[in-house]
């Protein structure tokens, strides 16, 4: 049983037919340590509502999954199913009892981090909470329960794009669906860049799909603000996931927004073929291939799909080894490839309609590779699957922060 913390308030809202699915609502933000609170306005998005029959069903499943009784993380919240984990964080679907609505809660173990790392974590959480865009995952609130930092976000029932592909589209998606997904992701990315932030871990596993076909960027654990003390500074840290990593990141050269554009191009190939280039190679081999070979390119023909010249040209523009020659996110949105993007309900009709619920999808353990070349004085942020049960008390504390692959899988 997790120690109960101070109660938090989740504002009520009404679903509307408006295109803008979010409204501004106040939340208390408590991060770093219990009792440290910051006030502000945070974006609001409809969460999954449950009728009485569904409520009994999910509570029953959660009892079987977690134990004899549901774990209570805060007044009004009970944890349901585990939907993702990493070495320092686990992600649950959670039920907010006063409204019988489901959310996602990422729980990060603060005991394994130093004070400097916790301060950085607080800044990253604040970044997520202050993001006001339909295609960027919002943070509703965060609080400390015992030694766990709990971050409350929407429960996106579609799951991540990589989870969707592994469940029903192992050979990749068709071009129209890819354009529809990537355009939404690129709009969220353009918003982040406009506000001085780089994501640094763009990949299909961090593109989440809601039940209405909305795509949101998630996992800002490695995201890095370029604006500090009023100045934009180039970063030289080595973080991210190797297959999606830009060459200048591997070389620890100066980095800017263009590292996300490279990762965006790799993600486009991933959505088309079912996996990123070099996905089956060990991490150091990925580094060697990325730095020494020509950039990856999109195959026009695969075993199940054919792709257009415009699609290949868009990918090639993203995967230029010279970051100065890559387009900005705003400029890339003007590429003719995105003219074929449909409204988001197209994703519901073509992708989500035949998928089983998130809880019933097969869950195969996928090996993730991580690399950290930071100095002892730097904090590194990366993602990856790691089973915390395999850790031992004698294991040395990690100098980097590893999150689960997605908020909701």
Q: What is the CATH number of the domain that holds 82?
A: 3.30.200.20
Taking each helix axis from N to C terminus, what angle separates 258-273 and 161-168, rounded to the nearest 10 degrees?
10
The single-letter DSSP state of residue 231 is E
The single-letter DSSP state of residue 319 is T
Give me the pLDDT at residue 366, please.
Answer: 39
Q: How many other CB atoms sit within 10 Å of the CB of residue 392?
A: 5
Give me the pLDDT at residue 22, please.
Answer: 39
Is residue 226 in some structural domain? Answer: yes
Highest average pLDDT, of 88-102, 222-236, 299-313, 320-334, comes from 320-334
Residue 234 — pLDDT band, cuts 50, 70, 90? low
Last residue within a domain, chosen from 155, 185, 219: 155
Give me the pLDDT at residue 320, please.
Answer: 97
Residue 407 reports pLDDT greater than 50? no
Q: What percent of the chain has pLDDT over 70?
A: 64
Regarding whether 305 and 167 lie in a shared domain, the answer is yes
Give which of 67, 321, 338 is closest to 186, Cα–Cα. 338
Domain span including residue 209 = 159-360
Are 3 and 145 in contact by the 8 Å Cβ rule? The answer is yes
Regarding whether 182 and 71 lie in a shared domain, the answer is no
Q: Compute CA distances 152 → 25, 93, 105, 358, 369, whole Å.
A: 14, 10, 5, 18, 27
Regarding whether 220 and 95 lie in a shared domain, the answer is no
- 31 versus 266: the higher-pLDDT residue is 266
Give me the pLDDT at residue 175, please.
Answer: 98
Are 346 and 332 in contact by the 8 Å Cβ rule? The answer is no
Regarding whether 65 and 124 lie in a shared domain, the answer is yes
Regarding whether 251 and 349 lie in a shared domain, the answer is yes
Last residue within a domain, chosen from 139, 155, 171: 155
Query: Which residues neighbour 356 within 8 Å (Cβ) at sequence distance 6 or greater?
Result: 167
Regarding whether 354 and 272 lie in a shared domain, the answer is yes
Structure tokens, 69: 């009784």
Is residue 369 in some structural domain? Answer: no
Regarding whether 126 and 249 lie in a shared domain, the answer is no
* CA gap 259, 318 in Å, rounded: 9
Is residue 367 in some structural domain? Answer: no
H or E element at residue 90? strand 89-96
Structure tokens, 345: 């309900």
Active-site residue among 109, 171, 174, 201? Answer: 201
Give which of 198, 201, 187, 206 is closest to 344, Cα–Cα. 187
Is residue 392 in some structural domain? Answer: no
Give me the pLDDT at residue 86, please.
Answer: 59
Regarding whether 184 and 93 lie in a shared domain, the answer is no
Give me the pLDDT at residue 363, please.
Answer: 61
Answer yes or no: is 339 a known binding residue: no
Last residue within a domain, chosen from 132, 155, 178: 155
Write out pLDDT tens, residues 191-220.
Answer: 999 998 888 889 998 999 999 999 999 876
Residue 5 reports pLDDT greater than 60? no
Is residue 268 in some structural domain? Answer: yes
Write out pLDDT tens, residues 351-389.
Answer: 999 898 877 777 654 344 333 333 333 333 333 344 444
Residue 326 reports pLDDT greater than 90? yes
Is residue 168 in some structural domain? Answer: yes
When pLDDT is averaged across residues 244-270 and rounded to a whole number, the result is 92
Give the chain's largest Cα–Cα span.
59
Name all contacts of 8-16 with Cβ < 8 Å and 24+ positions apart: 8/74, 8/75, 8/76, 8/141, 8/143, 8/152, 9/141, 10/76, 10/96, 10/98, 10/99, 10/101, 10/103, 10/140, 10/141, 10/152, 11/44, 12/99, 13/44, 13/46, 15/46
Q: Is 201 a catalytic residue?
A: yes
Is residue 112 in some structural domain? Answer: yes
Regarding whether 235 and 257 lie in a shared domain, the answer is yes
Give me the pLDDT at residue 108, please.
Answer: 86
Q: Any idea which residue has 């709009």 for tokens?
A: 187
Q: Any idea which residue has 């909470």 for tokens?
A: 129
* CA gap 275, 221 in Å, rounded: 22
Give me the pLDDT at residue 72, please.
Answer: 62
Regarding whether 211 and 117 lie in a shared domain, the answer is no
Structure tokens, 155: 């429960």
When pLDDT is averaged across residues 13-31 and rounded to a whole number, the result is 33
Give me the pLDDT at residue 404, please.
Answer: 34
Give me the pLDDT at residue 201, please.
Answer: 87
- 65 versus 308: the higher-pLDDT residue is 308
* CA gap 116, 227 in Å, rounded: 19
Residue 141 reports pLDDT greater than 80? yes
Write out pLDDT tens, residues 96-108.
Answer: 988 889 999 988 8
Is residue 389 in some structural domain? Answer: no
- 92 versus 339: the higher-pLDDT residue is 339
Least confident of 13-22, 107-116, 254-263, 332-341: 13-22
Question: If you average pLDDT over every residue of the chain, what do you get?
Answer: 73
Write out pLDDT tens, residues 50-65.
Answer: 444 444 444 444 333 3
Backbone dihedral angles phi then psi of residue 151, each to the nearest 5 degrees: -115, 120
Q: Where residue 183 sits, what CATH number does that domain have? A: 1.10.510.10
- 380 versus 72: the higher-pLDDT residue is 72
Least confident of 336-345, 353-362, 393-402: 393-402
Number of domains in the chain: 2
Give me the pLDDT at residue 68, please.
Answer: 32
* CA gap 352, 344 in Å, rounded: 11
Query: Which residues neighbour 360 within 8 Å (Cβ) at sequence distance 6 or greater?
Result: none
Q: Any idea which residue has 């010279």 for tokens?
A: 322
Give me the pLDDT at residue 171, please.
Answer: 94
Regarding whether 171 and 146 lie in a shared domain, the answer is no
- 364 versus 45: the higher-pLDDT residue is 364
Residue 263 reports pLDDT greater than 60? yes
Regarding whether 146 and 176 lie in a shared domain, the answer is no
């Amino acid at each position: 049983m997790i120690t109960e913390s101070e109660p938090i308030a989740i504002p009520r809202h009404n679903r509307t037919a408006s295109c803008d699915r979010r409204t501004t609502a106040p939340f208390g933000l408590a991060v770093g340590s219990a009792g440290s609170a910051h006030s502000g306005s945070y974006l609001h998005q409809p969460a999954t509502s449950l009728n009485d029959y569904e409520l009994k069903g999910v509570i029953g499943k959660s009892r079987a999954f977690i134990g004899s009784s549901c774990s209570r993380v805060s007044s009004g919240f009970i944890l349901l199913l585990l939907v993702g984990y990493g070495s320092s964080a686990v992600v649950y679907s959670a039920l907010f009892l006063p409204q019988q609505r489901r959310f996602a809660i990422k729980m990060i173990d603060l005991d394994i981090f130093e004070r400097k790392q916790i301060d950085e974590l607080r800044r990253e959480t604040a970044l997520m909470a202050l993001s006001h865009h339909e295609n960027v995952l919002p943070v509703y609130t965060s609080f400390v329960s015992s030694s766990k930092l709990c971050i409350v976000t929407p429960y996106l029932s579609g799951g991540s794009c990589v989870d969707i592909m592994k469940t029903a589209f192992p050979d990749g998606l068709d071009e129209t669906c890819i354009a529809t997904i990537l355009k939404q992701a690129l709009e969220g990315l353009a918003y982040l860049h406009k506000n001085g932030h780089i994501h640094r871990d763009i990949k299909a596993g961090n593109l989440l799909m809601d039940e209405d076909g909305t795509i949101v960027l998630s996992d800002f654990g490695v995201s890095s603000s370029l604006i500090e003390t009023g100045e934009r500074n180039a970063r030289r840290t080595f973080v991210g996931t190797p297959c999606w990593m830009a060459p200048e990141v591997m070389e620890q050269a100066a980095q800017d927004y263009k590292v996300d554009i490279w990762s965006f191009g790799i993600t486009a190939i991933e959505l088309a073929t079912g996996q990123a280039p070099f996905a089956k190679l060990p991490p150091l081999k990925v580094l060697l291939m990325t730095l020494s070979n020509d950039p990856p390119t999109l195959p026009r023909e695969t075993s199940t799909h054919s792709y257009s010249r415009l699609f290949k040209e868009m990918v090639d523009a993203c995967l230029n080894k010279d970051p100065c020659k890559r387009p900005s996110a705003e400029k890339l949105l003007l590429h003719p490839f995105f003219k074929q993007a449909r409204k988001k309900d197209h994703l519901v009709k073509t992708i989500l309609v035949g998928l089983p619920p998130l809880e019933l999808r097969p869950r195969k353990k996928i090996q993730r590779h991580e690399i950290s070349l930071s100095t002892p004085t730097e904090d590194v942020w990366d993602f990856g699957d790691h089973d915390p049960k395999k850790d031992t008390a004698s294991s040395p504390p990690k100098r980097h922060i590893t999150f689960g692959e997605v908020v909701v899988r």
